Structure 1
Amino acid sequence: MSKKLIKSGIIVSAMTLVSRVLGLVRDIVIANIMGAGASADVFFFANKIPNFLRRLFAEGAFAQAFVPVLSEYHTQDELHTRNQTRKLIAQVSGTLGVVVSLVTLFGMIASPLFVAIFGFGWFVDWLNGGPDSAKFDLAGTLLKITFPYLWFVSFTALSGAILNTYGRFAVSAFTPVLLNVGIIACAIYLAPMMENPAFALAWGVFLGGFLQFVFQLPFLYRAGALVKPKWAWHSAGVTKIRKLIIPALFGVSVTQINLLLDTLIASMLITGSISWLYYADRLLEFPLGLFGIGIATVILPSLAKLHSKKDTEEFSDTIDWGLRVVSLFGWPALAGLMVLAQPIIMVLFMRGEFTEYEVLQVSYALFAYLAGLLSFMFIKVLAPGYYARQDTKTPVKIAIKAMVANMVFNLMLAPFFGYVGLAIATTLSATLNAMMLYHGLKSNHIFQLTAKTYWFMARLMLSAALMACIVYYLSPSFDAWLLLSFSAQVLQLLICIICGVVSYVFCLMLFGIRVSDIKVTKKTHDKD
C-alpha cells in the first residue's frame, strides 16, 4: 500500500508540476498583455463564475460523492465482471449531462444577471452611468463565451474520477495542461487581432475546455469505461450519489461562495483589487496544487477502498501519511515564498502592463494567503476522511461555520485593509475549517495525530525557519532587486532557491528526518 500510494502521489505531482508551470506561463502572458487593470479584472471575474460552478458540478462536490460510490461498485465487480460499474458510469454520465447542459444554457442566457449579483459594484455603476459601467457590459459578454467551459470540464472531471478509481492517475493529472495551452495559444495568436485581448483569453478558456474533454476519451475507451450515456435519475446508484452530493454541494459551495463574496467586495474597491488577489492566489495555488491537491487526489480513492474493506487502521495511517507528506513540502514552500515573494512576482510578471506598483500590491495579498497555506493543504487531506466514509454532512456543517466566520472577518478587515483584508479573512476561515475537520475525526475516533507525527512536524517547522533565515540573508533588498537586469534577477533568484533547498535538506538530515518518516506504516498507537 505504501509504495503504491507514494508512486501514485509522485505521478500526480509530476503531472501537476507540468500543469502549474504552464499555468505560470499563462499568467505571465496575461500579465504582459493586460497587467492588472480594468480589462484584467473583468476577465478574471468572467473566468471565476464558470469555475465556481465547475467546483459544484465537476471535481468538487460531484467527485466527493461519485468516487466513493464508484469505488464501492468497482471493488464488488473486481471478482466478477465490470458490468455494474459500466452501468453506473452510463447512468451518471447521462444524468449529469442533462443537468449540466441546462445549467450551461441558462448561464449563457442570464450572464448579465450573474454579473449583477457577483459584480454588484459594477452593476451599481452601470445603473448610474459611472466610470465602471463598461466593466458590467464587458463581463456579461465574456461570460457568454466562458460559460460552456462548465460543460466540457464537468465531463472531464467525470472521466478523471473514473480513471483515478481505476488507478490511472497520470491522465487526469495532465489534463489541466490543455486548458493552459488553449489560453496561451489564444493570447499569443488571437489577442493581437482583437481590440480587447480579454475576448481572446475568453475564447482560450472555451478552447481549453474542449481540448480537456476530447483528450480523455481514448483513455476511457482503453479502460473499458467509455459507455453510452443514459438518463437514470431514479436508479439506485444515481440516487445514492444524489443523496451524497446534496450536502457536498453545500460544503463546496460554501468555499466558492466565500471566493465570490471576496470578488463582490473587491469589485467595490479600487481598480486592480480583483487582479491583485488573482495573481497572489495563483502563486499560492502552485505549492497547494502540486502537493496538497496532488496528495488529496490519490488519497480519496484509496480511503474509499479501505472503508469498503473496513480496514480502519490503514485508513487512519493513510490520512496520517498524507498530513506528513504535505507538511514536508508545505512548510518550506511557505517559508521560501514569504522571503522571496516580491522577487518571484518581479521575475514572473513585471513586464509590459505589469509595473513595480503591481508587484508590491500582489505581494501584500500573497503574504496574507501564505499564512494559511498549511491550513489549505490540511483541508485537502482531512476532508477525504469524511467523503471516503460517505459522510458528506459533517464537512458541510463545518464549512458553513467557516463561511460565516469568513463573512465576519471580511466585514471586520476589508474596511481597514482593503483587498489584503479579504486575503487575511480567507486565511483565518481556512485555518478554522482545518481545525474543525481534525477535531471531528478525532472526536469520532477515526483519526488522531500521533506524538511521532507532532515531533516530525516540529522538526519540519524548525528546518523551514532556518532555511528562511539563510535565504533572507542571501536575498537583496527590494530596491536592489529592481536595479538588476532581468537575467541577473533570474540568476540571483535561482541561487536563493537552490541554497534554500540545499539548506532545508541539510536541516532535515541534521534533525534526524529520514525517508522512512513519510512511509505508510502501521501505528504503534502512541496517541497523544
Structure 2
Amino acid sequence: METAVDVPLPDGAEPPTPPVEEEKGGGASGILKSGAVMAIGTLASRVTGFLRTAMLVAALGTGALADAYNTANTVPFIVYDLLLGGVLTAVVVPLIVRARERDAAYGARYEQRLFTLAVLGLAVITAVAVALGPVFISLYGGGMKGDQRDLAVMFARLFAVQIFFLGVSAFSGAILNTRKRFGAPMWAPVLNNIVICCTAAAFLLVSSDTVTPGSVSDGQVGLLAGGTIGGMALQTLALWPSLRGSGFRWRPRLDFRKGELGQMGRMAVWTLSYVVITQVGFAVTTRLGNAAGVLGREEGLGDVGYTPYFNAYQLFQLPYAIIGVSVITALLPRMSEHAASGRMQEVRDDFSSGLRLCSVVILPAAALMAVLAPDITVVLFAHGQTTVGNAQVIANVLEAFAVALVPFAAYQLMLRVFYAMQDTRTPAFISVAVVATNIAMALAAYNLLPTDKIIVGIAAGFGLAQTIGAVVGWAVLRRRLGGMDGRRVFVTYLKLAVALWPLVGFAYAAHAVLEAGMGAGLVPGVISLVVGSAGGGVLYLLFAKLMRVGEVQTMISTISSRIPGRR
C-alpha cells in the first residue's frame, strides 16, 4: 500500500486563509513555517482518523464483516489512484506551476481546462466502477464466498460513488497547493472522520449482538454506506470556500491548445505505469491477506487476515502523514520552480532539508511504534467486538511496519524530487524493483509462515521493498543532482540514532514494568503510552540537543515562536 493508496485516511472546512508565503532562502526554517499549518491540520485529521478507525473496529470487529467492509472501501481509492491520483501529484502540480510562471492569465485558463477534464473523466470512471463491483471483489477478496462475498460486492458497488468526490477533492487540493494555500486540504478530512465516527457509533447503538455478513440487516448496510459516502462528499464540499478565497472560479471549458494534452499525456503515461505496477503489488498483498483471514477462521485461529493489516497500516502512516506529507506538500511547488529554472543545487538542498526535518520526527516515532505497539493497539482497538487478543494481532503487524517507516518516508520524498523535474519515467522503473520485492516476500510469507504469522510477514516484506526503493532512488538522484548532500544527511541520522537509545530504553522499561505489574489492558496501556512516550520524548530531545542536531532546535524554535506570548 502507499501509497500508493492512502486508504480511508481521506480525512473540514476552514474559512479562506491568506496564502503561505515562501521564505526565500529560508532553508529548514522556511519549510517548517510553510508546513506548520499543514502539520497541525494533518495532526487533527489523523487523530480523528485514529478515532474513526478505533470506532469502526469496535463496531465491525476484525473478522469477516470488517474484511468485507474494508476491502470494498479500499476499492474506490485503488481505482482513483490508478486512473488519476498519481497524475495529480506528478503531473498536474508541476504543469500548473509552469503555466502560471509563463503567464498568469494563461495559467488560470489552463487550470479551468484541467479541472473540467477531471470532472468529466471522474463521472465516467465512477459509473464504470459501480458496474465492476463483483470483478474488484474477485480480484481483492482472496477467497471470500457466500454471504461475505455478497456483502463485499454490495459495498463495492455503493462505495464506488466515492471515486467522484475523492477525485474532485484531490484536484481541488492540488490547485490550492499550487497557490500555496495548504490549510484546507489538510483540515477537510477531519469532517469526513467525524461523519464516520458518528456512523460507527450509530451502528453500535443499533447492533445488540455480534453482527456477521449473514446477519447484517439492510438498514445496517444502508447506515454504513450512507455514512461512508456522505463523509467523503462533505470533505469535498468543505474545500470550496478556500478555493473561492484563493480566487479560483470554475468555468467549464475544454478548449485545449495544441500540445497541451500531449505534454500531459507524455508525463501521465509513466505515472500511470508506476501506479499500475504498485497496485499490482497491493492487489497481491490484499488478496493474500484476505486469504489468510479465511484460513485463520477455518483453522480456529481467530481474525488474522486483511483487517489487522489494514488497521496497522493506518497507524504506521501517522508520523509520515503529519510531518512527511506536510514537508513534501510545501516542497513540491518550491522544487518544481527551482527545477524549471535549472537550479539543481537548490533542488538538492530542498531535498536534504526536507529529509532531515522528516527524520527528526519519524525516527523517534518508529522507535516508539516498535516498543509500544501492544499498548497502542489495546488502547485504540480493544473495545466493542474487538478483544485484547485481536488487538495483539494488530500490534504484531505494527511492529513489522515500524521498521519500514524511515525508508518509506525517504522513498516518498525522493519520488517528489523526480516529479519536480517532470521525470515520471524513472519512478516507474524503480517501482518494478520495489513491487517485485513486495510480491516475492508476500508470496513467501503466505507459503512458508504459519497462518497466524502471514500478515506479519507481508508487512515485513513491505518494509524490505521500501528500503530497496529508497536505495535505488538515492543512487539515481545522486547522479542527476550531482550529489545528495549525503554527508550532512548521514551525520544527522547518526546523531539522531544516538539520541534514540535513551527513548527506547525508557519506553521499554515503562511497558515492561506495567505489563508485569498490571497485565495487558486499557488502564496499563494508557499509563504505559503516556509515561513511555512523554518520558522517552523528553530524553530524546535532551540528547538530540546535546548532540547538536540543528533540525531539532529549528523545529523547537519554530513551534515556540507560534505559541501566544512567545517570540
Q: TM-score, normalised by structure 1?
A: 0.91
> Using the alignment, how far apart are the partners of 2:115 and 2:31 within structure 1?
28
**Aligned counterpart, 2:18:** none
Matched, 1:260 2:273: no
> Using the alignment, how far apart are the partners of 1:478 and 1:245 within structure 2?
53
**Aligned counterpart, 2:114:** 92
> Using the alignment, how far apart are the partners of 1:237 and 1:188 within structure 2?
48
1:57–1:100: 8 Å Cα contact kept in structure 2?
A: no
**Pair 516,177 (structure 1): closer, same or farther in 2 beyond 3 Å:** closer
> Using the alignment, how far apart are the partners of 2:516 and 2:384 within structure 1?
21
> Using the alignment, how far apart are the partners of 2:258 and 2:365 within structure 1?
46
What CA deviation, in whole Å up to 9, does each residue of 1:166-209 have, x standing for no partner? 11111111122222122112222366457455653332221122
> Using the alignment, how far apart are the partners of 1:153 and 1:235 within structure 2?
29
**Pair 232,57 (structure 1): closer, same or farther in 2 beyond 3 Å:** farther
**Aligned counterpart, 1:293:** 325
Partner amino acid, structure 2, of 1:230: R
Partner amino acid, structure 2, of 1:437: G
**Aligned counterpart, 1:347:** 379
Give the alignment partner of residue 464 of structure 1, picking from 488, 500, 504.
Answer: 500
> Using the alignment, how far apart are the partners of 1:315 and 1:179 within structure 2?
35
Q: Give how far 1:508 is off.
A: 0.4
> Using the alignment, how far apart are the partners of 1:260 and 1:376 within structure 2?
19
Q: Give how far 1:482 is off.
A: 6.0
**Aligned counterpart, 1:34:** 60
Matched, 1:13 2:39: yes
What CA deviation, in whole Å up to 9, does each residue of 1:56-85 have, x standing for no partner? 3454332211000001012223xxxx3212
What CA deviation, in whole Å up to 9, does each residue of 1:450-479 have, x standing for no partner? 312211110101211221012111223685
Q: Give how far 1:383 is off.
A: 0.8
Higher mean C-alpha deviation, range 155-164 or range 483-492: 483-492
Matched, 1:151 2:187: no
**Pair 301,481 (structure 1): closer, same or farther in 2 beyond 3 Å:** farther
Q: How many residues are paired up?
A: 506
Partner amino acid, structure 1, of 2:117: T
Q: Give how far 1:309 is off.
A: 2.4
Q: Give how far 1:485 is off.
A: 6.4
**Aligned counterpart, 2:426:** 394
Partner amino acid, structure 2, of 1:86: A
Give the alignment partner of residue 421 of structure 1, picking from 429, 442, 457.
Answer: 457
Alignment of 1:309-324 (within 5 A): 309-324=341-356
2:142–2:290: 8 Å Cα contact kept in structure 1?
A: yes
Partner amino acid, structure 1, of 2:151: L
**Pair 515,331 (structure 1): closer, same or farther in 2 beyond 3 Å:** closer
1:372–1:428: 8 Å Cα contact kept in structure 2?
A: yes
**Aligned counterpart, 1:125:** none
RMSD over aligned Cα, in angstroms? 2.1
**Aligned counterpart, 2:6:** none
> Using the alignment, how far apart are the partners of 1:204 and 1:236 within structure 2?
43
**Aligned counterpart, 2:123:** 101
2:373–2:396: 8 Å Cα contact kept in structure 1?
A: no
> Using the alignment, how far apart are the partners of 1:436 and 1:450 within structure 2?
14
**Aligned counterpart, 1:506:** 542
Give 5+ residue unaligned stretches, structure 2. Answer: 1-23, 208-215, 295-302, 556-567
2:514–2:528: 8 Å Cα contact kept in structure 1?
A: no
> Using the alignment, how far apart are the partners of 1:205 and 1:488 within structure 2?
33
Partner amino acid, structure 2, of 1:464: L
**Pair 151,56 (structure 1): closer, same or farther in 2 beyond 3 Å:** same
What CA deviation, in whole Å up to 9, does each residue of 1:317-352 have, x standing for no partner? 000001101111111001111111101111111111
Partner amino acid, structure 2, of 1:145: L
Matched, 1:176 2:189: yes
Matched, 1:115 2:141: no
> Using the alignment, how far apart are the partners of 2:225 and 2:34 within structure 1?
33
> Using the alignment, how far apart are the partners of 1:365 and 1:144 within structure 2?
29
Partner amino acid, structure 2, of 1:117: L
> Using the alignment, how far apart are the partners of 1:392 and 1:506 within structure 2?
41
Give the alignment partner of residue 76 of structure 1, picking from 99, 102, 105.
Answer: 102
**Pair 511,214 (structure 1): closer, same or farther in 2 beyond 3 Å:** same
> Using the alignment, how far apart are the partners of 1:495 and 1:434 within structure 2?
34
Q: Counterpart of 2:485 in 1: which secondary structure?
A: coil
**Pair 441,484 (structure 1): closer, same or farther in 2 beyond 3 Å:** closer
**Aligned counterpart, 1:523:** none
Alignment of 1:60-459 (within 5 A): 60-77=86-103, 82-122=104-144, 132-189=145-202, 192-193=205-206, 195=216, 197=220, 199-232=222-255, 235-271=258-294, 272=303, 273-417=305-449, 418-459=454-495
**Pair 372,406 (structure 1): closer, same or farther in 2 beyond 3 Å:** same
Partner amino acid, structure 1, of 2:342: K
> Using the alignment, how far apart are the partners of 1:57 and 1:512 within structure 2?
46
> Using the alignment, how far apart are the partners of 1:323 and 1:518 within structure 2?
14
**Pair 347,517 (structure 1): closer, same or farther in 2 beyond 3 Å:** closer
Partner amino acid, structure 2, of 1:102: V
Partner amino acid, structure 1, of 2:254: W
> Using the alignment, how far apart are the partners of 2:530 and 2:224 within structure 1?
30
What CA deviation, in whole Å up to 9, does each residue of 1:98-123 have, x standing for no partner? 2221111011112111111221412x
Higher mean C-alpha deviation, range 340-349 or range 175-184: 175-184
> Using the alignment, how far apart are the partners of 1:402 and 1:113 within structure 2?
26
> Using the alignment, how far apart are the partners of 1:367 and 1:343 within structure 2?
12
Q: Give how far 1:445 is off.
A: 3.2
**Aligned counterpart, 2:77:** 51
Q: Give how far 1:356 is off.
A: 1.7
> Using the alignment, how far apart are the partners of 2:340 and 2:347 within structure 1?
10
Higher mean C-alpha deviation, range 406-415 or range 496-505: 406-415
1:61–1:251: 8 Å Cα contact kept in structure 2?
A: no
2:100–2:108: 8 Å Cα contact kept in structure 1?
A: no
Partner amino acid, structure 1, of 2:86: G
Q: Counterpart of 1:268 in 2: which secondary structure?
A: helix
Partner amino acid, structure 1, of 2:533: I
1:146–1:203: 8 Å Cα contact kept in structure 2?
A: no
> Using the alignment, how far apart are the partners of 2:202 and 2:411 within structure 1?
39
1:304–1:388: 8 Å Cα contact kept in structure 2?
A: yes
Give 5+ residue unaligned stretches, structure 1. Answer: 123-131, 520-528
Q: Counterpart of 1:175 in 2: which secondary structure?
A: helix
**Pair 477,215 (structure 1): closer, same or farther in 2 beyond 3 Å:** same
> Using the alignment, how far apart are the partners of 2:525 and 2:397 within structure 1?
22
Q: Counterpart of 1:121 in 2: which secondary structure?
A: coil
**Pair 482,232 (structure 1): closer, same or farther in 2 beyond 3 Å:** farther
> Using the alignment, how far apart are the partners of 1:281 and 1:86 within structure 2?
38
**Aligned counterpart, 1:522:** none
**Aligned counterpart, 2:529:** 493
Partner amino acid, structure 1, of 2:224: L
> Using the alignment, how far apart are the partners of 1:172 and 1:398 within structure 2?
29
